[in-house]
Structure 1
């Protein structure tokens, strides 16, 4: 049975049983505790916590999940995956143990013809919590499972909680017996390799207190309503129904392994464990990367972006190692597009958005592959330096610190370091590396634990979430009558607030826009008829439905229940709408110039200003920038009508409305249309009534913000006019100074720049000649210290390049003896003072133990700087010329 069919059968089974199908949420949710969605119940947490009212008492879903705590373990065993699909059915105060057990059993054991999976009931072993007599009775007496196949287990195995105070309850897990060839008899208690868990039924019936781990907390009492949360591992069931040993051999991963074998020329399952690990890494990480990019993640240096970057780089590295080239170029060094393309083809039947985003996903992944190629080149040089230093110290083992630095700072995986070390005839202190890695993981785990506070913080708003959303009136009016539903200060409900106090105000309705979709929040006021005045400094949302007004009480005393007037700062809103509508104009212009692949990757707009991130692997040319500006301003001049309307998500996409990657949309969406086909996007922001109200659009910058992502910035309206006015004044000033018409300024400036560069080059030649002339006299004043000739002097005005050139010349003239050349310089004045220096050694000096790099490290602190280099040539720079005499004395001490 194919995985897509397993998934569909699960959903059909529970829909038939009265459950509402809930589409998989994005892998990225607004949850302070999670980097990615890592369990099927995560999107339902607000319902289990009582923060929101569920749309139905019964629900079912197949949720995309990513777990990345043990990325380095992927592939080493066949049980660990970073991406997986968790099928679940949920009850919010509706049915409980009996129904949940019955639903699971019937789906697993019903025949394929009847919509089930057709699993032999004799292969299934349930487990229950130690004192859960009710669950055991249901399994034994109602389902008919023999008592000897039902096992009781403790808190660690069969009791569930979110890891923080809140709902919890006993579990009943269902295990499948794979047979004696996989291990010993005796059920899950005896061997969880033979007996593999495929379904977990959580009976959410209690409230837990604070505490750590899976057993270090107290059960406080029963929940007001009993809930059901279950999870069935789609991939694990696929292994069983497809008759394969592990998930890597199922229909959604094995084709990627087969492709990798074709690309690299190596074979999977040929008895080489290290090769098999690399194949599994390629398959697992490729699929996870495709899913993450599809949900809006981009490679970066921290957070989610760093995880994606690690996954993609491990794919590149594994393919290169399989191809037998380590870090060098090979046919496998450009295989990312093939791997990602295959993953998209495999997953698209269940997640069609992947096919829609194919070009974008490939662009991001291939861009990271190219970037990592450059990193490998740089890392290889750093490894070579570390290996040379290790051998020079007569050691045969590269330190754990060096290996960790290569891994953590430069993205060098440990197995690549091991491979290169072996080629260099070295070992690696793997124990030291592992210790440093464990310390890093411990810090990350401690940080994650410390951040588990989101649920407690949200609890103060639970009442407001339950009573329904704030009515946003700001599309139609800037002033609204409203009622104060609640006041919150320092995370606690209060009944009133006095002048000077900062707090959060919840209203039943508001015209003030809450920050979202790249648009900054409105500012404004909240007032009453008897003189109370509050300044609104920020507006945010909780649960995406309740508006939180951050305010300062200016006058009077505000109290819960007051009738108020909420008003938007009109000037702010006017500028904000110009910025947001201008963003849509620039997006439309970018797509006209660069093509449909230039999709949105993020935005920010505030009064008079916008920035827009878009997917592209190349910088804009000057001609493209001018064209984007012209298209935008032509649309402004056309005075297009801006229409907004609500429709179904499917209908909106059919019209061609653009959606932001990674954004979660409901069934009903708001469409903003500017000029018919010119621009049509899903957007909840505020906008101008017609495009002419945006005013002039002026691009002021373009830059890179990540792999495959560029950013443009622009001014609109009066800010655009002011910017152009300053530019015009600057141009007029230059024209006056240069005594040429404005249109001739660029050519005249280019001439001056060329002349200046020529003059600088001539001056540099003169300085170099003067320095060489002065340097020739240094040989006459050279002194012998011990057995070594010291050629030393200060050549004012030379930079580091000049010093290095002169040092090389002088060393060549004394190459027949043990000699050290030590040259210093001084450039700049005041705070800009620099003291560059260079040390060069001859072969005989190095044979006597004098190494340039060692000398530089000794003298650099004396001139307030630092430096380094190789044994034959090293350099550095400081900021304290007063230390030059001390530096020379230290050199003489080292030579003596």
Structure 2
């Protein structure tokens, strides 16, 4: 069976049993604890945690997943991969252990002719948690297997928890015996022999005092017992297709075959080559799926993972001997196989391929530059007598040049060096902790939502009226300070206030939260921020302006600042208009990847690999303002997500949407249709104006447009007008002639600067002859060791080379010039051929004086340069030069 048929039979099997088929969620769910969806149950977490009510009692899905902690092991074993598909069936308080086992066993063992997978029962072994006798009894009852065919495993293998207080429970796995060639009889820890391909989680326990995933207390039973299963599609595929591993299945092996054609190497002939072939097949597919879901290469978080995957794939095929751009050959092969299921890969191919191919081109240039840096670092290590490249150097290669650590390790090994991996990984860990701390510090990403959950459980959801009104009469449900309940706030205090109903828009979808006030009997609160820490609850960050605030039975008057809301509506609608204009000018593949808007201002990030020309920026602005002038109607309606997509609505990358209804905002009908929960104007003309103020890169494959809207747009234009008026007054010209007049002045300035520079260099070099004629004799060597105050690096190098050329021919000559300018030291050493023949090296001389002036440097034997920050020791450094020249010349 091909992979698509295995997937189809899985979904059909559970759909016949009353499960609701749920499409795969994006790989980029809004979860501060996850970079990517890494398990089939992740999209259903709010249901299992009781944060949301599921719209169905039972569901089934085939979920896209990415796991990258073991990325270095990809290809080295046949078990590790980064992208995979997890087939799952889920029960939310409906059926439990017995029916879950029945469903799994039926599909696995039913003959293929009857719609099953046809696995041989004689090779199947269920496993159970060692302390779950109920599961043992059920497996015996349902399968008829003897006791010795049911493996008992410990907590680390067969008990599921998330490592935090909440639901947990024992697991059962279905294992298949691949035979004695893969391991010893009965050794269930040998994953190659007894391969687990289906895991059934029986979510029945309430966990507390969680110390780790394997160390916790069970405080009781869950009020509703749930089922969460996961079946690895790739594992079932390779077992049913008669191949050895996941890399050889129908949706992956064609990439290996293309790599064979490109390189002339053969898969299966050499272990190291096989590892590289597998890396290529895995990483090409993973990269393509990530780009398809909106990730672009970068140096942080998701973008860094994608960059690493792409670069490992490129490097692997280069190590197989293929030097030309490879991704344009490999990506279409993976697209054609995966696109049979994920049709967006075809419709969005222009953008996906553009991002991938641009990253390969960047990396090809990076490899050249980074290799030179590595060579210098390796030379430095060897000259110092060491044999290990430091963790700092390895981390710099990784962080600055995008070198994976395994690339550095391999290059170091070829150079006869080791690498301080512990130091490197320590620096990597520090970087990850900084990234995590930064993520936790972002507004709205509350690390502990327990206190908000308690408020929601006690009082129910906030009645959110931001679409209907700008003011409400409300009751205070909770007052919090520092995450704990508080009794009151006095003037100047800041706290969090939960109301039973609110007109305030909570920050989401790129739109900033509303500003305004909340008045109470005897005082007033200023609303500083509004967030949704958990679904259903709106939390207002407030500061007491007047009076002492104590929650009570009296009504509060919540009032959104109407000017603020007007500006916010203009900016958010303006963002949609700019997005539509961008797509009209650049094409449909220019899709928004992020946005932020507040009153009077918007920024929009979009996937694009090249900078926009001034003409393109002007065209985008013109199309946008023509849409405003056309007074296009703005409307919204609710529909299901499939209906919205069929209608042509754009769903933004990484956003999560309600499974039942989504809100579609349209401007001018089909011209702009997007899924959006923000506040908007009623007609495009109410935006006022859109003034594009900038376009720039925000990372590889991502650009950003910024603009002002409404009154802020007019103010920006007024400031620009004032600047033009001042310049025309100063230059005594007309506005239409201003650019030419300024251009003339700039050209005259450049000419003057060139003349000044020519005169300055001439003056500097005029002393070269005198310095050469005054060279000191150090043994047989003519030495010029001289200090030049006010000279920077370029001047120092020019003078050193000039003096060296003036020294007597046929005699050893050494020139060391040290300049000082703006508190910085520049050192250049120049040595002629006769001096080098006597063992003198410019590189050695610069390295000798570098520490004295508070810096370092290096170069070749004939010319080397360096720098430092300690001007006070220049004379001492020159003395060291003379001593070093004398020592080498005497030797």
TM exceeds 0.5?
yes
Superposition deviation, residue 397 in structure 1: 7.7
Q: Name the structure 2 match of 1:24.
A: 24
Q: Name the structure 1 match of 2:350.
A: 359
Change (3 A) 1:345 1:548: farther
- Pairs within 5 Å for 1:163-562: 163-186=163-186, 188=188, 191-210=190-209, 212-269=211-268, 271-323=269-321, 330-331=323-324, 334-389=325-380, 392=383, 405-413=396-404, 416-417=407-408, 426-429=415-418, 432-439=419-426, 457-463=448-454, 469-494=461-486, 497-528=489-520, 530-554=521-545, 555-559=547-551
Q: Could you list the per-position Cα deviations for residues 576-607 of structure 1 after superposition, in whole angstroms to 9, with x for gaps in the alignment?
A: 11211221222222222212122112111111
Counterpart secondary structure, 2:346: helix
Change (3 A) 1:816 1:392: farther
Kept in 1, the 8 Å contact 2:825–2:868? The answer is yes
Given the alignment, which residue of 799, 808, 824 partners 2:818? 824
Counterpart secondary structure, 2:696: strand
Superposition deviation, residue 417 in structure 1: 4.7
Given the alignment, which residue of 632, 638, 647 partners 1:646? 638
Counterpart secondary structure, 1:198: strand
**Separation in 1 of the partners of 2:19 and 2:377?**
61
**Separation in 2 of the partners of 1:733 and 1:456?**
52
Change (3 A) 1:372 1:105: same
Q: CA RMSD in A?
A: 2.8
Counterpart secondary structure, 1:542: coil
Q: Name the structure 1 match of 2:889.
A: none
Superposition deviation, residue 284 in structure 1: 0.5
**Separation in 2 of the partners of 1:749 and 1:447?**
46
**Separation in 2 of the partners of 1:192 and 1:421?**
33
Superposition deviation, residue 414 in structure 1: 5.1
Structure 1 window deviating more from structure 2 (274-283 vs 810-819): it is 810-819
Change (3 A) 1:847 1:49: farther
Question: Given the alignment of the two structures, is residue 729 of structure 1 paired with residue 722 of structure 2, yes or no?
Answer: yes
Change (3 A) 1:46 1:6: same
Question: Given the alignment of the two structures, is residue 75 of structure 1 paired with residue 75 of structure 2, yes or no?
Answer: yes
Counterpart secondary structure, 2:145: coil
Matched pairs, number? 878
Kept in 1, the 8 Å contact 2:785–2:881? The answer is no
Question: Given the alignment of the two structures, is residue 684 of structure 1 paired with residue 683 of structure 2, yes or no?
Answer: no
Change (3 A) 1:89 1:651: closer
Change (3 A) 1:824 1:183: closer
Q: Name the structure 1 match of 2:828.
A: 838
Superposition deviation, residue 500 in structure 1: 3.8
Given the alignment, which residue of 792, 800, 804 partners 1:807? 800
**Separation in 1 of the partners of 2:14 and 2:129?**
25
Q: Name the structure 2 match of 1:570.
A: 562
Structure 1 window deviating more from structure 2 (744-753 vs 478-487): it is 478-487
**Separation in 2 of the partners of 1:716 and 1:135?**
63
Change (3 A) 1:117 1:495: farther
Change (3 A) 1:509 1:354: farther
**Separation in 1 of the partners of 2:692 and 2:861?**
51
Counterpart secondary structure, 1:706: coil
Superposition deviation, residue 288 in structure 1: 0.9
**Separation in 2 of the partners of 1:408 and 1:614?**
24
Q: Could you list the per-position Cα deviations for residues 443-497 of structure 1 after superposition, in whole angstroms to 9, with x for gaps in the alignment?
A: 6888899999989712222245567653332223211233333333322344654
Change (3 A) 1:643 1:221: closer
Given the alignment, which residue of 865, 885, 890 partners 1:875? 865
Q: Could you list the per-position Cα deviations for residues 682-735 of structure 1 after superposition, in whole angstroms to 9, with x for gaps in the alignment?
A: 221111222222222222111111122211111122222222222222222222
Superposition deviation, residue 100 in structure 1: 1.5
Counterpart secondary structure, 2:532: strand
**Separation in 2 of the partners of 1:141 and 1:650?**
42
Kept in 2, the 8 Å contact 1:697–1:716? The answer is yes
**Separation in 2 of the partners of 1:517 and 1:416?**
40
Counterpart secondary structure, 2:673: strand
Q: Name the structure 1 match of 2:649.
A: 657
Counterpart secondary structure, 1:59: strand
Change (3 A) 1:449 1:695: closer
Change (3 A) 1:221 1:656: closer
Question: Given the alignment of the two structures, is residue 92 of structure 1 paired with residue 92 of structure 2, yes or no?
Answer: yes
Q: Could you list the per-position Cα deviations for residues 125-167 of structure 1 after superposition, in whole angstroms to 9, with x for gaps in the alignment?
A: 0111222111111111343111110121221222221122322
Kept in 1, the 8 Å contact 2:395–2:427? The answer is no
**Separation in 2 of the partners of 1:87 and 1:871?**
63
Q: Could you list the per-position Cα deviations for residues 267-302 of structure 1 after superposition, in whole angstroms to 9, with x for gaps in the alignment?
A: 212x21111111110110111111111222111111
Q: Could you list the per-position Cα deviations for residues 733-771 of structure 1 after superposition, in whole angstroms to 9, with x for gaps in the alignment?
A: 222222221211111111111111111112111112111
Question: Given the alignment of the two structures, is residue 852 of structure 1 paired with residue 852 of structure 2, yes or no?
Answer: no
Change (3 A) 1:751 1:399: same
Q: Name the structure 1 match of 2:882.
A: 892
**Separation in 2 of the partners of 1:115 and 1:675?**
48
**Separation in 2 of the partners of 1:817 and 1:397?**
40
**Separation in 2 of the partners of 1:817 and 1:732?**
66
Superposition deviation, residue 343 in structure 1: 2.2
Q: Could you list the per-position Cα deviations for residues 514-538 of structure 1 after superposition, in whole angstroms to 9, with x for gaps in the alignment?
A: 111211111112223x234221111
**Separation in 2 of the partners of 1:390 and 1:847?**
24
Q: Could you list the per-position Cα deviations for residues 363-401 of structure 1 after superposition, in whole angstroms to 9, with x for gaps in the alignment?
A: 111111111111111012113323444565678886777
Given the alignment, which residue of 598, 616, 624 partners 1:624? 616
Change (3 A) 1:853 1:559: farther
Unaligned regions of 5+ residues in structure 1, if any? 325-329
Superposition deviation, residue 213 in structure 1: 4.8
**Separation in 2 of the partners of 1:560 and 1:895?**
87
Change (3 A) 1:715 1:367: same
Change (3 A) 1:437 1:87: farther
Q: Could you list the per-position Cα deviations for residues 29-60 of structure 1 after superposition, in whole angstroms to 9, with x for gaps in the alignment?
A: 23232222212222222222222222223222
Kept in 2, the 8 Å contact 1:485–1:561? The answer is no
Kept in 2, the 8 Å contact 1:168–1:204? The answer is yes
Superposition deviation, residue 885 in structure 1: 2.7
Kept in 1, the 8 Å contact 2:464–2:502? The answer is yes
**Separation in 1 of the partners of 2:55 and 2:486?**
30
- Pairs within 5 Å for 1:704-743: 704-743=697-736
**Separation in 2 of the partners of 1:188 and 1:420?**
38
Kept in 1, the 8 Å contact 2:389–2:420? The answer is no
